[in-house]
Amino acid sequence: MRAGPSLLSLLLAVGLLVGAVGCSAQRAEKPARSLENIPLEPYQAELLEIAFDAASAMPVHPHVENRSRTQETVVKACLELEQPLRALRYIEQIDNWRRGAGYADLAFYCAQHGFPTKAASYIELAARTSQEAEDWRKDRIKIKISETYTYMGQTEAAAQFERGVGASELGKVNRVKAMICPADSFDAEIAALERLVSVRHFDILKGALAAYAELFNRFYADPKRRALVEERMRASWGSMPVSIRIDLLADLADFSLAHADQAKAVELVDEAETLIDAASWQPRLVIPVLAGLTELRFRAGDTERARTELQDVLSLFDAKRERIVNIYRAETLCSIAEAFRAMGGTAVALDLYGRAIEAGIENPNSRPRADDLAATCCSMALHRVEPDAELMSRIRQIRDGLGDPW
The whole model's pTM is what? 0.90
Q: Could you list the pLDDT tens digit for every one of the 406 residues in the chain?
A: 344 444 444 444 444 444 444 434 433 444 447 999 999 999 999 999 999 999 999 999 999 999 999 999 999 999 999 999 999 999 999 999 999 999 999 999 999 999 999 999 999 999 999 999 999 999 999 999 999 999 999 999 999 999 999 888 888 999 999 999 999 999 999 999 999 999 989 999 999 999 999 999 999 999 999 999 999 999 999 999 999 999 999 999 999 999 999 999 999 999 999 999 998 999 999 999 999 999 999 999 999 999 999 999 999 999 999 999 999 999 999 999 999 999 999 999 999 999 999 999 999 999 999 999 999 999 999 999 999 999 999 999 999 999 999 9
The domain ranges of the chain are 171-236, 241-300+308-313
In this structure, how many other beta carbons lie within 10 angstroms of the beta carbon of residue 280?
A: 5
Give the N- to C-terminal CA distance of the chain in Å, as an integer. Answer: 34
Of 205, 135, 209, 143, give the one whose Cα is nearest residue 173: 143
In sequence order, what are the residues at sequence separation of 6 or more whose Cβ sits closer than 8 angstroms to the Cβ of residue 33? 114, 115
